[in-house]
Structure 1
Amino acid sequence: MWALLRSLAYTLAALILPLVALATYRLTLHPLARVPGPRAAAVSNAWLAWQVRGGRLLALGKRLHKTYGPVVRVGVDEVWVCSKEGFAAVYVGLGGGGFEKGGFYLATALNKPEMDWTGGLHFPDTLDLLSEFDVKRYRLQRRLMGPVYQAANLKKFERAVDEVMERAVARLRELDGAEVDLKEWMHIITVECLGAVVLSWSPGYIRNASDGGTSAQGYLGWRRKTIFGLFPLVTTASFFSKTVARQFSNLWGVTFKTPRNFKPFFTPVYQKSSGRITAALRKINPTTDPRKDLLADLINLHKSRPDEFTEPYLRRLAVTNFGAGHETMTSALTAAMAMIASHAAAARAVAAESRNTAPGGSRCEYTAASIREAQRLHPVIGMALPRRTPRGGVCLHGHFLPAGTTIGCNPVSLHRDEEIFGGDADVFVPERWFRDEGQGRGVIERYNLTWGGGGRTCPGRNLAEMVLGRVVQGLWREFDVRVVEMPPEEEVRYYFMAMLTDVRVRFVPVDEGVEGGGR
């Protein structure tokens, strides 16, 4: 009996002592040991993953730097930095002057890589913008697609967005002021706008007054991706083993099922775009398509530069407009509508401006400022945009961060930094975007991660801003938006892709409500 107990004790010691030694090293001897932060975060990336699992990234972003200072250790080899100096070091210039994308982005990759004999991963060149690690390749891709996504070119699609809004307004009026989920309706409108602009097509979401659960399903996917992103080695293994992916997902409780009869809009998007591209590129008797949408522009770009803007690029970008746009635009629209509607003065100003501007008329400046302010407080990204420190490392705020350290600025934290945004950084103040001195627009634009950092800013920004402006203006022109339920920020579920969740509103037609809306 005693021999069995001794054997068991030795076995436990053999298992526990190495873990204790590893934890001790990470806490005391690791190169990042002197960087402040939660002690559990220094021991294992599981600490941050646990925050992600609970959707607590909004609360975490607001709290960490206020507690620990401008540089915080949030993982074994990861730090978040919140300062002008940190932003400039990490993001200014493409690649941040040597700061390349971190391993987190493996979890967002659209293609399975090949592995060489050294263990290096090589992804096919198919225009995977979010997960592209090759800076030179990314530069080329951005340069090629740039003209199509310039604001001047996108202006011709404004009418398509306005026509979607006419249908959306009519359908919302039929709901007779009933309480709705704001995020779902912003997703309905977003996908309809993308369908109209890119493919001259409607998914039928407005007609059905439902997105079929696609927004909720997609957000569960981001919960899973965010956790996988914190463990690049596991993500790499999952490329080559579905068993690893399944078991790790089950371990963290982020496995989710696809509902019965679930119909994602990506299937018809792929079918329609693929069919049109194939027809247009036939060597014999190519089909002449009269539609003048964004896909037509991309097809023409390929025809003019086939050796650079290749067919794989064309096919991927046609779908990427939806893949990259449907959630980011939904997030921004949800934040904008919720913030404006829950601040009475802003609601009155936006309503008055929208109702005094004819549809398709001039830009509404206060509305645009309100949208920017909402995105500042509730950015599309809920955790740091990770990069890796270059050879030689970097010193920030008295801390040396060796080469290979994962580093980034969390938009939630950076956008509430009082040095950049002023003493009222935690408050929704659209007027800050009109300030000319001190914390003026130039300063807050420079240190703004709403659309990403440095040379990695979102290539679809102009398209998104065009849609955001016309949708918000169109809704406030026709409705007073009443917030029925706004959850406390600590209960909002944020992941890497972040959205205001569980906001319930009523769209009350102007002729039935009190002008200006508000809560």
Structure 2
Amino acid sequence: MQRLDESSDTGVVVNLGDWLQKYAFDVIGNITFGKRFGFLDHGEDIGGLIQALEKRRVFTSLSGVYPFLHGLTFRVMSRLPGSGAAGFAYLSEFGQAELARHKAKAGLSLQADDGPIPQVDRFLNGHSEKPESFPMHAVLAHSMGNIFAGSDTTGISLTAIVNNLCRNPETVEKLRAEIEGHVSNTRSPEALTFKEAQSMPYLNAVIKESLRLHPATGLPLFRKVPAGGASIIGQYFPEGATVGINTWVAHYNEDAFGPDAPIFRPERWLEADSRQLSLMEQYNFPFGLGARNCLGKNISMLEMSKVIPQLIRNFDFQLEDPTQPLQCENFWFVKQTNFRCQVIRRKAP
């Protein structure tokens, strides 16, 4: 809120997607270690972490599609200037320091009523209980995994939501009316709780529709065909074959979402009957499904449900050029590159 107020005061056009990723980075740092990285405090790429993630997305997506190149490309890219190695070194040092700080509290039987418990403390407690199955290096690996997976994905999703709202002012008005109706009945008018946000049907429809049209992942979720082969929609695939479906293809399926599937229309989630809603849910999986379901889904939904009402209630966002479509690059995550807009502080409701 402070950073957007500053942008409103100066009137400059900002890369809002960049700020939304900084927000997500600081939140996941706080959840994991009980300490923000400081992206929002300093307004910069702390330790080159964002650059490191950008480089990592390119490398890991290419290695995933062409795994036989991994050995060669890793040795080459790890030596190139600007490869993001400095950011990973910073994150490793940060993680090691935080792990050392939290190890002193391990075994203190932290309870939920002691306040928010950083996940690293839960990992350390798990290590104390079962050190052989959950060794110390796993504690660090899981903590780092939180950071790698929990920043750009949520930043992408938040950008998709705000972009759709920028381009659909009538949706903004409906959403604001719902937000104000809840704020007037809450004990915490400055910020809605997650529980309150979950009870807002139009807010959740806006989030769901935005993630349907712009899921963060842009490559198929591959599986291996089991022994004996399998027939999928009338096509036979032998055992060992690699099959998968791209989330974007499923989300734009007109059989599930109707002929207006490419259109942003949150109302579709509120108007559908039970049969249609069930079909839509089957084809909507921005966080994956089953064994491929994102472990951080609830954290991401928490971040989005908390911040979107704050943004929409307090600010207007005007795209720098509304005639230009959102440009993206797909290296496993489909990240927006030109979400530039002006931030305007609204008068108090």
Calculate the TM-score normalised by the size of structure 2: 0.83
2:25 is matched by which residue type in structure 1? V
2:168 is matched by which residue type in structure 1? H
- CA distance in structure 2 between the partners assigned to 1:219 and 1:428 by the alignment: 28
Give a deviation string over 1:207-248, Cα, whole Å, max 9, x none: 22233564354223212221222222222xx0xxxx55456x
- 1:185 Cα offset (Å): 0.6
Match of 2:177 in 1: 352
- CA distance in structure 2 between the partners assigned to 1:442 and 1:265 by the alignment: 45
Matched, 1:202 2:36: yes
- 1:260 Cα offset (Å): 11
Q: 1:396 to 1:170 in 2, by over 3 A?
A: same
2:244 to 399, 404, 408: 408
Q: 1:432 to 1:511 in 2, by over 3 A?
A: same
Structure 2: give runs of 5+ residues left out of the alignment. 184-188
C-alpha contact (below 8 Å) 2:52/2:87 kept by paired residues: no
C-alpha contact (below 8 Å) 1:332/1:379 kept by paired residues: yes
Q: 1:311 to 1:262 in 2, by over 3 A?
A: closer
2:294 to 431, 455, 458: 458
Match of 1:482 in 2: 318
- 1:259 Cα offset (Å): 7.5
C-alpha contact (below 8 Å) 1:185/1:210 kept by paired residues: no
- CA distance in structure 1 between the partners assigned to 2:223 and 2:330 by the alignment: 20
Match of 1:234 in 2: 69
Q: 1:278 to 1:300 in 2, by over 3 A?
A: closer
Match of 1:505 in 2: 341
- CA distance in structure 2 between the partners assigned to 1:397 and 1:474 by the alignment: 45
1:341 is matched by which residue type in structure 2? C
C-alpha contact (below 8 Å) 2:53/2:84 kept by paired residues: no
Q: 1:260 to 1:463 in 2, by over 3 A?
A: closer
- CA distance in structure 2 between the partners assigned to 1:265 and 1:451 by the alignment: 28
Q: 1:410 to 1:256 in 2, by over 3 A?
A: farther
- 1:412 Cα offset (Å): 0.9
2:192 is matched by which residue type in structure 1? G
Match of 2:12 in 1: 178
1:492 to 315, 324, 328: 328
- 1:281 Cα offset (Å): 4.3
- CA distance in structure 1 between the partners assigned to 2:213 and 2:20 by the alignment: 18
Percent identity between matched residues is 24
C-alpha contact (below 8 Å) 1:388/1:406 kept by paired residues: yes
- CA distance in structure 2 between the partners assigned to 1:264 and 1:506 by the alignment: 35
- 1:370 Cα offset (Å): 0.8
Residue aligned with 2:236, SS = strand
Q: CA RMSD in A?
A: 3.1
C-alpha contact (below 8 Å) 1:384/1:410 kept by paired residues: yes
Q: 1:280 to 1:499 in 2, by over 3 A?
A: same
- 1:309 Cα offset (Å): 4.4
Greater C-alpha radius of gyration: 1
Residue aligned with 2:218, SS = coil
- 1:196 Cα offset (Å): 2.3
Match of 2:273 in 1: 437
2:213 to 377, 381, 403: 377
Match of 1:339 in 2: 164
Query: For 1:21-32, what aligned pairs fall within 5 Å after superposition?
Result: none
Give a deviation string over 1:411-453, Cα, whole Å, max 9, x none: 1111000011111110111111113427633322222221112
Q: 1:479 to 1:458 in 2, by over 3 A?
A: same
Structure 1: give runs of 5+ residues left out of the alignment. 1-168
1:223 is matched by which residue type in structure 2? V
Q: 1:336 to 1:398 in 2, by over 3 A?
A: same
Residue aligned with 1:280, SS = coil
Q: 1:360 to 1:303 in 2, by over 3 A?
A: farther
C-alpha contact (below 8 Å) 1:493/1:501 kept by paired residues: yes
- 1:341 Cα offset (Å): 1.7
C-alpha contact (below 8 Å) 2:95/2:144 kept by paired residues: yes
Matched, 1:388 2:224: yes
C-alpha contact (below 8 Å) 2:55/2:84 kept by paired residues: no
1:172 is matched by which residue type in structure 2? L
Match of 1:426 in 2: 262
- 1:381 Cα offset (Å): 0.6
Give a deviation string over 1:254-307, Cα, whole Å, max 9, x none: x7724898687624541343213432348xxx8999773332333334445555
Match of 1:129 in 2: none
C-alpha contact (below 8 Å) 1:420/1:439 kept by paired residues: no
- 1:323 Cα offset (Å): 1.4
C-alpha contact (below 8 Å) 1:338/1:503 kept by paired residues: yes
Residue aligned with 2:329, SS = coil
Match of 1:471 in 2: 307
Match of 1:222 in 2: 57
1:466 is matched by which residue type in structure 2? L
Q: 1:463 to 1:425 in 2, by over 3 A?
A: same
Query: For 1:59-98, what aligned pairs fall within 5 Å after superposition?
Result: none
Q: 1:233 to 1:260 in 2, by over 3 A?
A: closer
Calculate the TM-score normalised by the size of structure 1: 0.58
- CA distance in structure 2 between the partners assigned to 1:399 and 1:504 by the alignment: 44
Residue aligned with 1:499, SS = strand
- CA distance in structure 2 between the partners assigned to 1:246 and 1:309 by the alignment: 30
- CA distance in structure 2 between the partners assigned to 1:260 and 1:221 by the alignment: 9
How many corresponding residue pairs? Answer: 330
1:188 is matched by which residue type in structure 2? K
2:118 to 284, 290, 294: 294
Residue aligned with 1:482, SS = strand
Q: 1:264 to 1:501 in 2, by over 3 A?
A: farther
